[in-house]
Amino acid sequence: MRNVQRVAIVGMGSRGLSILEQLIGLAHRNPQRRLLVEVFDPQTPGSGLHRPEQPDYLMLNTMAGQISAFSAAFPASLPDQPAGLTFLQWCATHNVRLDERGHLDAAGRPVEFGDFAPRRLLGRYLQDSYRYLLALCPAHVQVRHHRESIVGCCPSAGEPGFQLTCGNGQQMAVDGVFLTTGHAPRECEAVTGRRVAIQGLGLTAMDTLAELTQGRGGRYVRDNSVCGWRYQPSGREPLIYLFSRSGLPFHARPQWQPDQPAPASPRFFTPAAIRALRRESLDGRLDFVKQVLPLIEDEMRSRCGSFDPKIHLQIEPWQGEPGAYEQWFRQWIEADLLRSRQGTAASPLTQALEVWRDCRDVLRLAVDHNGLTDASIQAFYNQWAALGNRLVGGPQQERYEDLLALMDAGIVRVLAPLQIHGPGITFDALIKARTAHSGLSGGRSALLDDLLRQGRVRRAHPYPADGIEVDRQNRAIGSDGRVEPRLWVLGPTVEGSTFYNHYVPTPDPACQALLQARSAVESCLAALEVDLACEQLTT
């Protein structure tokens, strides 16, 4: 009988941390079972893409008070051990302070719940969280970090589990694999030239603007304009053309207020309503536009009163005279900025838009695991998921203040969708500012290529819903439709099989990322228990 059972976590960002937390916490139930956790990540464990070396101007798009690496429902710590800190608690413990631009400043103010802090702070927090979990390990659990990528994963001969191949050629047998590789890395190239076009109006575009301006020595100083800032160029910035295929801007994140009430409980877009629709469907699958969207519209009306949600649920590109677009865009941003500063409680319109965030778990219930028809899932991911991001996943208001200041300084021109190809517009470089696709149709890793070639994984749906298909325990489903009982996949790589996996976990006990980690680890440990029982019968 083996002395130790071995599981691998491939990728140690926030999703890998959640798996490690649950492995350690649940291991307390069986102190006789020795467990070796092999962590594979080429960089320092914990931070994932949130590198602590990033500049301060690259900011989080989640409020500081809404981030936690640890499960409130299923903590790994025992009653006599210190609980894991939320991100906000960690900031307070480390006396982190910010200036008025949200950058680190020892003479600034403490981090508050509603702050959008520098991303590098989250990287430090996640690395500390990994070290905290190591300190919690009981004597029968060992964690080893390998600064390597995994490039191959084949079934072990004659026994459950897999044979892993590292980038350096080393091989290792494990009883189970958790694949938590996170976001696909964004391809970054050095940008040269005096005229640069940025395609996109979302978060990645705002990051790119910051890199081409603040990243080249430009500064913002306070003034009395609508945006509140004046941009002082360094002289090294290019002229920037900003455009998108739709021409439709994102709504800025609303200002958090300390006395902000909790979101109202949904009245129309509810789990019960989704279940009722499924009972009426022949195969249990739904049409998003005909069955689900009307519930969302009713929920929006219940928060804002007599208004037409369809005005704000626009999926067709901007229509108008190209020469009028920039003025329209600026007026839209200024109005949205004013609404953002009001906060949620003071703006019924914001409350209506926030339905797309507040009811995200109901949306998951409708979409996940083939919950929509084939045609509807394609329409959802091609149009409606992007719309939801525009409504509630837009930039921080600070980004729009910066954008207006850059327009005032003549650094940025905003173009209508097709105007980039018009007369008089020339550029030296084009940056497609969007998050790298994490599905199986994108630029895949060697490991995903290997698993796909073997038929160990398959696409949930055609692009763009082409993440790895998983069951409700997040076990991969192979090309033959059978579950891979020793391979669990979590995070952005499964987008399309389940909805909205691109986020850092929250302190909410109902956080789906943490609940998924719990379910996956319970499934893994149950399989390991079966292995032990079988070995005992044969010895």
Which pLDDT does position 60 carry in this prediction? 96
Cα–Cα distance, 149 to 341 (Å, whole number): 44
Rounded to a whole number of angstroms, the distance between the first and last alpha carbons of the chain is 7
Which pLDDT does position 303 carry in this prediction? 92
CB proximity list for 375: less than 8 A, separation 6 or greater:
none
**10 Å Cβ neighbour count for 426?**
8
Cα–Cα distance, 490 to 415 (Å, whole number): 38
Which pLDDT does position 145 carry in this prediction? 99
Which pLDDT does position 36 carry in this prediction? 98
Which pLDDT does position 78 carry in this prediction? 86
- For residue 6, what is the DSSP state? E
For residue 431, give both structure tokens: 């940056």
* Domains in the chain: boundaries: 1-147, 436-511
Give the 3-state secondary structure of residue 189. coil
Q: Which amino acid is at 393?
A: G
Q: Which stretches of the chain drop beneath a pLDDT of 50?
A: 1
Contact 46, 130 (CB under 8 A): yes
Which is it for the CA torsion 325, 330, 333, 339, positive or negative?
A: negative
Q: Which amino acid is at 512?
A: Q
Which pLDDT does position 405 carry in this prediction? 98
User: Which is nearest to 488 in space by CA: 41, 1, 23?
Assistant: 23
Q: Which amino acid is at 40?
A: F
pLDDT tens, position by position, 370-406: 999 999 999 999 999 999 999 999 999 999 999 999 9
Rg, the chain, Cα only:
24
Contacts 24+ apart (CB under 8 A), 308-313: 309/352, 312/349, 312/352, 312/353, 312/391, 313/387
User: Which is nearest to 390 in space by CA: 360, 363, 356?
Assistant: 356
Cα–Cα distance, 521 to 474 (Å, whole number): 10
Give the 3-state secondary structure of residue 359. coil
Give the 3-state secondary structure of residue 392. helix
Q: Which amino acid is at 406?
A: L
Give one DSSP letter per residue of 31-46, joined into a string: TTS-EEEEEE-SSSTT
Q: Which amino acid is at 530?
A: V
Burial code (b: 16+ CB inside 10 Å, e: under 16) for 213-240 equals bbbeebebeeeeeebbbebeeeeebbeb
Phi-psi region of 400 (alpha: psi -120 to 50; beta: other; left: phi over 0): alpha
Which pLDDT does position 81 carry in this prediction? 85
∠349-359-279 over CA atoms, to 5°? 125
CB proximity list for 102: less than 8 A, separation 6 or greater:
56, 59, 115, 116, 117, 118, 398
